[in-house]
Amino acid sequence: MAVHHLLRRGVSSGSPLHPLRSLLLASQELGRRPLSSAAGDAASELRGAREDVKQLLKTTSCHPILVRLGWHDAGTYDKNIAEWPKCGGANGSLRFEIELKHGANAGLVNALKLIQPIKDKFSGVTYADLFQLASATAIEEAGGPKIPMIYGRVDVTAPEQCPPEGRLPAAGPPSPAEHLREVFYRMGLNDKEIVALSGAHTLGRARPERSGWGKPETKYTKNGPGAPGGQSWTSQWLKFDNSYFKDIKERRDEDLLVLPTDAVLFEDSSFKIYAEKYAKDQDAFFQDYAEAHAKLSNLGAKFDPPKVNEIKTIPILVR
């Protein structure tokens, strides 16, 4: 379903507004004022989907896998490929079996099963939008920062449009820093964003049967919540905070996971600047993480109508 733009006038009639103020009003007022256009219908569906995602999180504690779902759909983006959807990115392609079977996506079929009823209920919401909405909502509901999301992404329509395997980061490459830069620079992200996004490992667990990494269970995971087992990066692995950076730096608990791509954040001279900062300053981490997550969620996305400029012409914003 097409999503009409919210223009400089904001979401209601009246005198023209400064574009920055219009952007703020759009995000604040969509949840309050009824819209009679197709934009209103789209906003209503997105709000409904977001509320259902919140309920899903409360009943299943699936925050980590929903974050991963959004990341892995967007993280296939290649800035060097101009043509959509060959460039990959946030286009809903991860719903197709061929991409779900990529090695890095092991287990994500479970995330798709969890949110498919929400997609069926709110059919006007694209998979591309739903994946990113679910990911951002999971971060926020786990205590993380509010992420400035926009919506109106277009879905690919066939499995032939899925990206090739091998675009997502590996956990234990021979040269972790070089590998992280190769993957994330290809997406158009920088060192600060690499480190900030790595902080999302404060949520979730690694399971050896899926990734080949982690213990079968630890004192933090043997009783769940959710399915028991796996090894987490932090002791409170359903709480979004800066403990990932503190724990990676200290490395005092053998029951907490440290992958080569985690350890390198305090070993590489450029990465270390940000990792040290985030270990000390959670507010700084939250600010940088929110910006990086929002940027990631838009990589390779095609918007309907086109996202010409996030200030002058913006797709639906939902809060």
Does a cis peptide bond (omega within 30 degrees of 0) precede residue 225? yes
> Using CA atoms, how far apart are residues 263 and 10, in angstroms rounded to an integer?
46
Catalytic residue chosen out of the listed positions 4, 5, 63, 72: 72
Q: Is 300 left (phi over 0), alpha (psi -120 to 50) or beta?
A: left
Q: Are 94 and 105 in contact (CB under 8 A)?
A: yes
Q: ∠304-39-16 over CA atoms, to 5°?
A: 100
* Long-range CB contacts (within 8 A, 24+) of 38-43: 38/1, 38/2, 38/3, 38/4, 39/3, 39/4, 39/5, 39/6, 39/316, 41/1, 41/124, 42/1, 42/2, 42/3, 42/4, 42/124, 42/125, 42/151, 42/152, 42/316, 43/316, 43/318
Based on the number of CB atoms within 10 Å of its own CB, is 34 exposed (0-12), middle (13-18) or buried (19 or more)? Answer: exposed
> Using CA atoms, how far apart are residues 284 and 188, in angstroms rounded to an integer?
21
Our answer to whether residue 4 is catalytic in this structure is no
C-alpha 201: how far from chain center: 12
Q: Are 305 and 5 in contact (CB under 8 A)?
A: yes
Q: Which of 173, 193, 217, 159 is nearest to 71 (CA)?
A: 193
> Using CA atoms, how far apart are residues 220 and 237, in angstroms rounded to an integer?
8
> Using CA atoms, how far apart are residues 275 and 245, in angstroms rounded to an integer?
6
Which residues are part of the catalytic machinery? 72
